[in-house]
């Protein structure tokens, strides 16, 4: 064995250790998020109910208050922000994101975010080591695609936090699904570090697959926001009808942003990344022309990429149509993400196609 080969093998082994280490840190972040939500649930919250009982005026908790400081200067406090729902029928305040307003919950939330950031750095180092071990893009098979995908998902989440966006609510579902993704990758999808099959040995691998991974990461965050929107919207609707949700539902859902905010978040991220998904399909077609001598051959991966594009296009069109706002559009968004998931896992694992290079037996 040459020194270069030994070095490559060592880097591949280091990559494996780093991926497993990141899973351990993600697990700690998972428990920290659980503590954040559990301790935060002790706070007394009733802002949504208060806003809905006084729809034509601000609730006392949200009304501006005047304080008189030393010297007699009057200071008007900034009122809490309320958001109009997709249907325009409810104006309710956003929840704090996750911790519920308690100091203990907020402390554990900060610990969870810090651990998530540390796990992200470790996992990114693992992906980089995998790439260096064979001197190529680290997404030549399903194992590499999965580890890179989860890294990018967490990176997008942390970038939104750094941009001061209220996405702390996504932390728990994020680390849960990242652990699931990595668990599947190391258990069933693992492939030894090796060179690419001839069809993938192209600079288009860097362009086409990287944009597909990034689009999937953003689509995932949009899907999380959509699922939580459906729960929060049902909660607000029950309160508006005079119902009384259970204590658990109240403690959790009051800490989420308003249904309108979640709906708006999901729509914006899906709309923002849709043009890039369009480019991904075009780039894949150009690559197919170089590799196989035709731009489009109705291969299973091509078909499901197009189906995903059509589903998200239908969702965005539905959002521009008054009768398809709110829950109807949300269901369509989830169908679109399900198409992306099948394209991600199902086509590579269960369908014979020209894209059967995933390394899965």
Give Dmax over CA atoms of the chain in angstroms. Answer: 82
The two three-digit tokens of residue 76, written as one number: 């008007």
At residue 8, the pLDDT reads: 84
Alpha-carbon span 200 to 177, nearest angstrom: 28
Give the tens place of pLDDT for each residue, 268-302. Answer: 999 999 999 999 999 999 988 887 788 888 888 88
Alpha-carbon span 249 to 254, nearest angstrom: 8
Residue with the bigger pLDDT between 90 and 165: it is 165
Give the tens place of pLDDT for each residue, 73-129. Answer: 444 344 444 444 444 456 787 888 888 777 888 899 999 999 999 999 999 999 999
The CA angle 280-284-289, to the nearest 5 degrees, is 150
Alpha-carbon span 53 to 157, nearest angstrom: 35
Alpha-carbon span 175 to 186, nearest angstrom: 16
Q: What are phi and psi for residue 255, nearest 5 degrees?
A: -90, -10
Residues above pLDDT 90, as percent of the chain: 52
Alpha-carbon span 33 to 64, nearest angstrom: 33
Predicted confidence band of residue 235 (pLDDT cuts 50, 70, 90): very high
pLDDT tops 80 at residue 136: yes
Residues 184-209 have a mean pLDDT of 83
Alpha-carbon span 194 to 145, nearest angstrom: 14
- Mean pLDDT computed over every residue of the chain: 83
Question: Residue 358 in contact with residue 184, Cβ under 8 Å?
Answer: no
């Amino acid at each position: 064995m040459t020194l270069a080969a030994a070095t490559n093998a060592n880097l591949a082994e280091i990559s494996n250790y780093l991926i497993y280490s990141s899973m351990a840190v993600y697990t700690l972040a998972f428990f920290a998020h659980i503590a954040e939500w559990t301790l935060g649930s002790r706070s007394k919250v009733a802002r949504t109910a208060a806003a809905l009982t006084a729809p034509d005026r601000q609730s006392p908790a949200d009304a501006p208050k005047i304080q008189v400081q030393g010297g007699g200067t009057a200071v008007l406090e900034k009122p809490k922000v309320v958001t109009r729902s997709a249907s325009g029928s409810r104006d309710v305040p956003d929840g704090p994101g996750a911790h519920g307003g308690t100091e203990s919950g907020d402390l554990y939330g900060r610990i969870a975010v810090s651990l998530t950031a540390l796990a992200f750095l470790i996992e990114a180092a693992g992906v980089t080591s995998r790439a260096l071990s064979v001197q190529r893009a680290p997404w030549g098979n399903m194992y590499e695609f999965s580890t890179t995908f989860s890294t990018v998902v967490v990176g997008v989440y942390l970038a939104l936090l750094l941009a001061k966006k209220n996405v702390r609510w996504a932390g728990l579902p994020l680390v849960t699904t990242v652990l699931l993704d990595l668990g599947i990758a190391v258990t069933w999808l693992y492939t030894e570090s090796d060179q690419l099959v001839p069809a993938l040995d192209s600079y288009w691998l860097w362009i086409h697959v990287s944009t597909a991974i990034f689009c999937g990461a953003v689509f995932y965050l949009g899907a999380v926001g959509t699922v939580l929107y459906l729960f929060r919207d049902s909660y607000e609707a029950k309160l508006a009808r005079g119902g009384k949700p259970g204590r658990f539902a109240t403690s959790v859902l009051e800490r989420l942003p308003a249904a309108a905010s979640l709906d708006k978040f999901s729509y914006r991220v899906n709309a923002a990344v849709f043009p890039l998904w369009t480019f991904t399909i075009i780039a894949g077609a150009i690559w197919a022309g170089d590799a196989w001598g035709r731009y489009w051959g109705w291969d299973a991966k091509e078909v499901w990429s197009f189906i995903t594009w059509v589903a998200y296009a239908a969702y965005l069109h539905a959002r521009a149509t008054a009768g398809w706002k709110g829950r109807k559009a949300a269901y369509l968004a989830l169908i679109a993400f399900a198409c992306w998931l099948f394209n991600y896992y199902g086509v590579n694992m269960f369908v014979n196609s020209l894209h059967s290079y995933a390394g899965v037996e």
